[in-house]
């Protein structure tokens, strides 16, 4: 497999992480995951804009202009011969003697690689069971940083309990999933946590907000509690890769009738139509 290393496509084997890479030692870096459908990036501009925002928030210089990065990513996909999958992009602050504050002189390291991935059609069709976990993450999860231990521990809990995702609860409020955003529907109201520092403003979430405009649902970007979640007619999660995935059970509680809801199905069809 070949990877993108800064501005060059090189064999995977030729890349090694330095002992004092700040991503490795401090999690001092950012990432993006973009879906490839039929060889084409889905919402690449929004993803790369978010990468720029994450970099800015962490005062992390990007090694290349976004247009150059985009061109290199296209070359990488072509080189990989993958038509359906994901590209993972990561930028760390680079290598310097270990000291918490930013080093004076260091070059950021960008790596990207492509993986073939099947769409999780069965989960999207039948829905998933999720497990709740306390949201113990730091207070800037709007930045797509490499600090994912809170997410890792929550997903591990879900997996151990037979769930496909962990839904995070902070002070009784449902924030998001361990690697997804969460929507819920009651009557004609569609709720999702506002895009502030307590959630990652997902690109799929933003697509769904656009799709909602073509339905009779009324968007409510307002926090809601775990107890309110259990009373919802429909719940679904969104992310790059899982797209719009119905949630049919939270812990031991069934959502609605315990089957994917009509609005979730409608939004899934509208999403599918975007893929051409
Ligand atoms: N994660 N919230 C969190 C905490 C996430 O990690 C993700 C995505 C999302 C959804 O964002 P988007 O729609 O842009 O994929 C929300 C990616 C897929 C990951 O970490 O692999």
Report the mean per-residue pLDDT for the chain.
98
Which residue lies with its CA nearest to atom 3 of ligand 1?
Answer: 179
Place of tokens 């202009």: 65
Measured in angstroms, how far is the CA atom of residue 38 from the centroid of ligand 1?
21
Which residue lies with its CA nearest to atom 19 of ligand 1?
Answer: 179
The pLDDT tens digits for 170-218 are 999 999 999 999 999 999 999 999 999 999 999 999 999 999 999 999 9
More confident residue, 167 or 63: 167
Mutation to probe ligand 1, out of 180, 182, 196, 209 (largest number of atoms < 8 A from CB): 180
Is the predicted pLDDT of residue 276 greater than 90, yes or no? no
Which H/E stretch holds residue 89? strand 85-92
155 is catalytic: no
The pLDDT tens digits for 17-60 are 999 999 999 999 999 999 999 999 999 999 999 999 999 999 99
Which residue lies with its CA nearest to atom 6 of ligand 1?
Answer: 179
Q: What is the pLDDT of residue 105?
A: 87
Q: What is the pLDDT of residue 219?
A: 98
Share above pLDDT 90 across residues of the chain, in percent, rounded to a whole number: 98
Q: Which residues lie closer than 8 Å to 57 by C-beta, 6 or more apart?
A: 140, 142, 143
Ligand 1 within 6 A of CB of 268: no
Is the predicted pLDDT of residue 227 greater than 90, yes or no? yes
Ligand 1 within 6 A of CB of 180: yes
Q: What is the pLDDT of residue 253?
A: 98
Measured in angstroms, how far is the CA atom of residue 104 from the centroid of ligand 1?
32
Which residue lies with its CA nearest to atom 11 of ligand 1?
Answer: 202
Is the predicted pLDDT of residue 226 greater than 90, yes or no? yes
Q: In the chain, which residues fall in CATH 3.20.10.10?
A: 121-274
Q: What is the pLDDT of residue 106?
A: 87
Q: In the chain, which residues fall in CATH 3.30.470.10?
A: 2-116
ipTM above 0.85, yes or no: yes
Closest C-alpha to 145, from 18, 10, 225, 31: 31
The answer to whether residues 140 and 57 touch, using CB atoms and an 8 Å cutoff, is yes
CATH 3.30.470.10 is held by the domain 2-116: yes
The pLDDT tens digits for 112-124 are 999 999 999 999 9
Q: What is the pLDDT of residue 142?
A: 98
Which residue lies with its CA nearest to atom 12 of ligand 1?
Answer: 202
Measured in angstroms, how far is the CA atom of residue 180 from the centroid of ligand 1?
5
Residue in 8, 56, 78, 144 annotated catalytic: 144
Measured in angstroms, how far is the CA atom of residue 239 from the centroid of ligand 1?
5
> Which CATH superfamily is 121-274 part of?
D-amino Acid Aminotransferase, subunit A, domain 2 (3.20.10.10)
Tell me the average pLDDT across 60-67: 94
Looking at residue 12, what DSSP letter applies? G
What is the CB neighbour count within 10 angstroms for residue 249? 17
């Amino acid at each position: 497999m070949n990877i993108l290393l800064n501005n060059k496509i090189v064999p995977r084997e030729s890349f090694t992480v330095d002992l004092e890479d700040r991503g490795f030692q401090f999690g001092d870096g950012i990432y993006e995951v973009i879906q490839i459908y039929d060889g084409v990036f889905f919402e690449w501009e929004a993803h790369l804009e978010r990468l720029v925002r994450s970099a800015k928030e962490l005062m992390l210089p990007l090694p290349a202009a976004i247009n150059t990065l985009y061109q290199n990513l296209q070359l990488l996909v072509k080189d990989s011969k993958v038509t359906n999958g994901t590209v993972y992009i990561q930028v760390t602050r680079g290598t310097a003697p270990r000291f918490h504050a930013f080093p004076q002189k260091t070059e950021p390291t960008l790596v990207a690689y492509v993986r073939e991935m099947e769409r999780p059609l069965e989960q999207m069709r039948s829905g998933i069971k999720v497990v709740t976990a306390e949201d113990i993450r730091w207070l800037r999860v709007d930045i797509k940083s490499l600090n994912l231990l809170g997410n890792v521990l929550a997903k591990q809990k879900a997996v151990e309990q037979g769930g496909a995702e962990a839904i995070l609860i902070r002070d009784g409020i449902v924030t998001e999933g361990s690697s997804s955003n969460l929507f819920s529907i009651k009557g004609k109201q569609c709720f999702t946590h506002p895009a502030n520092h307590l959630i990652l403003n997902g690109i799929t979430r933003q697509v769904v907000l656009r799709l909602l405009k073509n339905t009779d649902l009324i968007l409510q970007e307002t926090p809601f509690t775990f107890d309110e979640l259990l009373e919802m007619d429909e719940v679904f999660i969104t992310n790059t890769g899982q797209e719009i995935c119905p949630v049919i059970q939270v812990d031991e509680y069934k959502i609605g009738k315990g089957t994917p809801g009509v609005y979730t199905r409608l939004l899934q069809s509208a999403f599918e139509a975007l893929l051409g």
